[in-house]
């Protein structure tokens, strides 16, 4: 305790002393019970009562006391061991254990090992699939940022194949780092695929590029080859082979392959270098990888009343996006299967000649999105009955020429500033004369401008009701818009943007499944943990998880892994751990309200031999880190010297932490016990002297 303070002026202490004085005087001044005893006893009782009453009065002033304390924190030494497989052949762990035993007797020592993650303790299992040095430094920075960190001892070969280069990593580490160099820096005779670059996703019908960096040491004047294969149903097909002429002892070159994405799903590919005799390792001569090929193409049908320039223009606009396929048909002679299409564009339909009643009923039953282009041939009563986007009221069959005006309130999708500014300059469309009233639930992007008058009549409106998305363009002549766009800007960007974004919105497929299972990724590495999430919905599409859900995972050989989902909040979750390399399918199952609901999918696990691709220790990296952190490079043969230096020469000193806190004296128990003690002694003396 260094000092105290009161919540009242200090001179209030006088009142406390006076209270003790008057109370003790009143009690003992005229007290005659103790006259037969020595006067010292009466004086003692007087003093005890004075002190207890004055002390209690003093506590009523709310005294505060500042308490100081000291804590000595010994320095911490952190030891980290590279447990990846690249150091396995040359590593010796005995000296690390010796250091751990010797240092832990003097310092607080924390030991860890790392590969793709950091784990506690040293290990004899040096089989980590990757080395992530930056994650180790990140862990040190987060864990020991505000502690008395005296030194770091890191045993590694300097090879890293995941994460960033630790030389360029910013940390708050100020302690010296002592690297214990592992591995062999001798460049062995070897050919390897140093790095592989490819997309994770490709679209059916596209082509993607695979690049392989090939490196060779001490194989000058040697011929070999690199080949790309596609693995399908257990067999592999050669895609392309390229010759390699190694003309120097330190060879490096990049080879590119253009691959067609001709198969939907997760496809396995293998790239392989022909083995040469005398190689240190052939494990790094081949790499496998997976590409998730998606069929994102949507089929669109243009069903027209009669031939029209708009049809050719629409086909050209839509097919400018490679994800769309377009077919045209005529109501008079064609009977397309509407179930085969993702969107149906009805041009000048329904008309007086073709009511297409059966086609509209079929579209409604299939809940297919549709777009109406209502030109001069439509039947107004049939048109109003066929869609719910806008209603046309007309007393004549006259034709109007209308231009477009953009409504700022439209929010279904974004439009570029160029489109907003230029669409009003597009040539007029031909539209039936009348009043076009958009449904209150519809969103209108374009309204009609007739002459110089901007109206609220719908020109392009969109509505989504009961899962059916509809768009209506109340005019024909889109081919004129496309032609104008090219004449003004030498491209078709604006008309393509308008039509493509409209089609993209109305063809969005909403997921209405009541049970959905998904994997966090489509492609994993063999050391990744594979996670699944599941969602279950009731009839009101509220998430529930009051029943058990199950998951079955199968590999390509039919081997099955079964799991039960854990219930987390209002959804389900599974951590399936890691799985061997290969292609897998999964199916989730749940019984809800008497029905069995299923959800399935696929994923692949890729074997990445990162540790085998580079086996030459990088001690130059360790020297660079020494310069950055002020450390020193050691070898396992110098364990005793390192130990001696840390114990004798290292400026590792304990840190003294001073802490202070202020609290009310009422919270100090010893004061309570002191006051009780004073009163108890007074009572005991009174009893001893024959009073009470």
468 and 347 fall within a common domain:
yes
275 in any annotated domain:
yes
- Neighbouring C-beta atoms of residue 562, cutoff 10 Å: 9
Which of helix, strand or coil describes residue 396? coil
Where a domain ends, among 448, 479, 506? 506
Q: Is 71 exposed, middle or buried (0-12, 13-18, 19+ CB in 10 A)?
A: exposed
Closest by CA to 664, choosing from 1, 9, 16, 59, is: 59
Domain count, the chain: 5
**If you average pLDDT over residues 260-281, what whole number do you get?**
88
With respect to residue 612, please indicate whether it lies within any of the assigned structural domains: no
Same domain as 357, residue 321: yes
The token duo for 457 is 């009549």
Question: What pLDDT, on the 0 to 100 scale, is given for residue 88?
Answer: 60
pLDDT (mean) for 222-227: 94
Question: Cα(116)–Cα(285) distance, rounded to whole angstroms?
Answer: 23
Nearest Cα residue to 455 out of 404, 389, 397: 404
The yes-or-no verdict on residue 103 having pLDDT over 90 is no
Does the residue 655 lie in any domain? no
The answer on 502 and 387 residing in a single domain is yes
Q: Dump the DSSP string for 493-546.
A: HHHHHHHHHHHHHHTPPP---SEEEEES-SEEETTSPPEEEEEEE-TT--EE--
Among the ranges given (88-102, 420-434, 500-514, 515-529), the one the predictor scored with the smallest mean pLDDT: 88-102
pTM of the model: 0.56
Quote the tokens at residue 444: 């209108």
Start-to-end Cα distance in the chain: 37
Task: Confirm if 125 and 83 have CB atoms less than 8 A apart.
Answer: yes
Helices 639-648 and 94-104, interaxial angle, to 10°? 20
Whether 464 is in a domain gets the answer yes
For residue 347, the Cα-to-chain-centroid distance in whole angstroms is 45
Average pLDDT over residues 307-326: 92
Nearest alpha-carbon partner for 143 in 161, 118, 162, 114: 118
Strand pairing category for 390-393 and 435-438: antiparallel
pLDDT per residue as tens digits for the range 294-308: 877 889 999 999 999
Ranges 68-72, 414-418, 458-462, 478-482: which has the least confidence: 68-72
- Give me the residue label for tokens 């005294």: 63
How many other C-beta atoms are found inside a 10 Å radius of the C-beta of residue 546?
9
The CATH number assigned to the domain holding 450 equals: 3.40.50.880
**pLDDT one-digit tens code per residue, 120-157:** 888 877 777 778 888 888 888 888 877 777 788 888 88
Judge whether residue 89 has pLDDT over 50: no
Let me know if residue 155 belongs to a domain. Answer: yes
Does residue 53 sit in the same domain as residue 198?
no
Residues 81, 38 share a domain: no
Residue-averaged pLDDT of the chain = 86
Angle of helix 493-506 versus helix 309-319 axis, rounded to 10? 80
Domain, as residue range, for 200: 190-294
Q: For residue 649, what are the contacts with CB-CB under 8 A and spacing of at least 6? A: none
Q: Identify the CA nearest to 152 among candidates 657, 646, 618, 638.
A: 646
Percent of the chain residues topping a pLDDT of 90: 39
Q: Do 328 and 459 fall into the same domain?
A: yes
pLDDT band at 612 (very low <50, low <70, confident <90, very high): low
CB of 522 closer than 8 Å to CB of 289: no
463 and 333 both lie in a single domain: yes
Residue 682's φ and ψ, nearest 5 degrees, are -60, -45
Q: Are 230 and 206 part of one and the same domain? A: yes
CATH assignment of the domain containing 282: 2.60.40.10
* 55 in any annotated domain: yes
β-pair type (595-606, 523-525): parallel
Specify the CATH number for the domain of residue 80. 3.40.50.410
Q: Which of 125-139, 191-205, 340-354, 641-655: highest mean pLDDT?
A: 340-354
Does residue 244 share a domain with residue 152? no
CB 342 within 8 A of CB 318: no
Is 676 inside a domain boundary? yes
Domain boundary among 506, 533, 558: 506
Q: Does 611 fall in a domain?
A: no
CATH label of the domain that carries residue 586: 2.60.40.1930
Residue 542 — pLDDT band, cuts 50, 70, 90? confident
Question: Which range has the worst mean pLDDT, 15-19, 253-257, 564-568, 634-638?
Answer: 634-638
Tell me what the mean pLDDT of segment 659-670 comes to.
Answer: 76
Higher pLDDT, 318 or 151: 318
Q: Give the per-residue pLDDT at 123.
A: 84
pLDDT value at residue 691: 67
- On whether both 458 and 379 belong to a single domain, the answer is yes
Please name which of 408, 410, 415 lies closest in space to residue 499, comparing C-alpha atoms: 415
**408 lies in the same domain as 489:** yes
Are residues 208 and 285 part of one domain?
yes
Nearest to 649 by CA among 181, 176, 180: 176
Q: Which of 474, 506, 538 is the last residue of a domain?
A: 506
Q: Under the phi-then-psi rule, with left for phi > 0, alpha for psi from -120 to 50, and beta for the rest, what region is 348?
A: left
């Amino acid at each position: 305790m260094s000092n105290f303070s009161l919540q009242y002026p200090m001179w209030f202490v006088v009142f406390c002393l006076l209270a003790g004085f008057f109370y003790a005087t009143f009690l003992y001044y005229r007290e005659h019970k103790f006259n037969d005893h020595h006067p010292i006893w009466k004086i003692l009782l007087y003093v005890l009562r004075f002190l207890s009453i004055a002390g209690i009065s003093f506590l009523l002033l709310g005294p505060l006391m500042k308490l100081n304390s000291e804590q000595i924190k010994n320095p911490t030494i952190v030891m980290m061991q590279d447990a990846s497989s690249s150091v396995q052949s040359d590593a010796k762990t005995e000296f690390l254990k010796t250091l751990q035993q010797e240092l832990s007797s003097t310092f607080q020592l924390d030991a860890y090992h790392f590969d793709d993650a950091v784990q506690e303790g040293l290990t004899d299992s040096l089989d980590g699939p990757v080395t992530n040095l930056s994650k180790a430094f990140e862990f040190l920075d987060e864990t020991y940022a505000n502690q008395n960190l005296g030194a770091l001892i890191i045993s590694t070969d300097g090879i890293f194949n995941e994460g960033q280069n630790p030389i360029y990593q910013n940390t708050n580490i100020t302690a010296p780092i002592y690297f214990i160099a592992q591995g062999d820096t001798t460049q062995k005779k070897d050919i390897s695929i140093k790095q592989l670059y490819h997309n994770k996703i490709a679209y059916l019908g596209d082509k993607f590029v695979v690049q392989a960096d090939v490196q060779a040491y001490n194989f000058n004047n040697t011929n070999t080859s690199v080949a790309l294969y596609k693995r399908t149903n257990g067999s592999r097909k050669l895609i392309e082979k390229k010759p390699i002429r190694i003309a120097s002892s330190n060879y490096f070159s990049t080879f590119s392959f253009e691959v067609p994405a001709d198969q939907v799903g997760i496809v396995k590919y293998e790239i392989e270098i022909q083995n040469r005799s005398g190689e240190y390792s052939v494990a790094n001569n081949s790499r496998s990888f997976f590409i998730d090929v998606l069929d994102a193409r949507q089929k669109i049908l243009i069903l027209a009343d009669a031939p029209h320039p708009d049809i050719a223009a629409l086909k050209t606009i839509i097919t400018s996006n490679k994800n769309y396929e377009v077919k045209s048909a005529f109501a008079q002679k064609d009977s397309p299967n509407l179930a085969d299409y993702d969107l149906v564009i009805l041009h000048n339909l329904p008309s007086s000649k073709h009511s297409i009643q059966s086609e509209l009923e079929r579209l409604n039953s299939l809940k297919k999105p549709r777009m109406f282009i209502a030109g001069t041939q439509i039947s107004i009563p049939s048109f109003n009955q066929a869609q719910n986007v806008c209603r046309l009221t007309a007393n004549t069959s006259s034709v109007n020429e209308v231009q477009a005006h953009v409504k700022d309130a439209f929010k279904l999708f974004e439009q570029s500033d160029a489109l907003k500014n230029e669409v009003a300059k597009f040539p007029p469309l031909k539209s039936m004369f009348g009043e076009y009233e958009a449904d209150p639930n519809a969103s209108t992007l374009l309204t009609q401008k007739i002459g110089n008058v901007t109206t609220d009549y719908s020109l392009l409106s969109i509505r989504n009701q009961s899962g059916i998305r509809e768009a209506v363009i109340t005019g024909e002549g889109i081919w004129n818009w496309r032609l104008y766009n090219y004449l003004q800007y030498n491209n078709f960007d604006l008309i393509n943007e308008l039509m493509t974004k409209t089609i993209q919105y109305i063809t969005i497929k909403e997921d209405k499944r009541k049970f959905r299972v998904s994997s966090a990724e489509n492609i994993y590495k063999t050391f990744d943990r594979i996670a699944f999430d599941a969602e279950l919905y009731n009839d009101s599409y509220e998430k529930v998880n009051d029943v058990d859900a199950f998951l079955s995972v199968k590999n390509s050989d039919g081997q099955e892994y079964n799991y039960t989902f854990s219930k987390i909040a209002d959804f389900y979750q599974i951590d399936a751990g890691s799985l061997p390399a290969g292609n897998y399918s999964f199916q989730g199952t749940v019984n809800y309200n008497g029905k069995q609901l299923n959800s399935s999918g696929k994923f692949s696990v890729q074997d990445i031999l990162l540790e085998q691709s580079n086996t030459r220790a990088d001690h130059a990296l360790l020297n660079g880190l020494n310069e950055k952190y002020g450390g020193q490079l050691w070898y396992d043969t110098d364990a005793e010297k390192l130990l001696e230096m840390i114990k004798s020469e290292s400026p590792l000193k304990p840190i003294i932490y001073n802490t202070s806190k202020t609290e009310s004296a009422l919270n100090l128990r010893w004061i309570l016990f002191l006051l009780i003690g004073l009163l108890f002694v007074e009572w005991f003396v009174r009893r001893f002297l024959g009073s009470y």
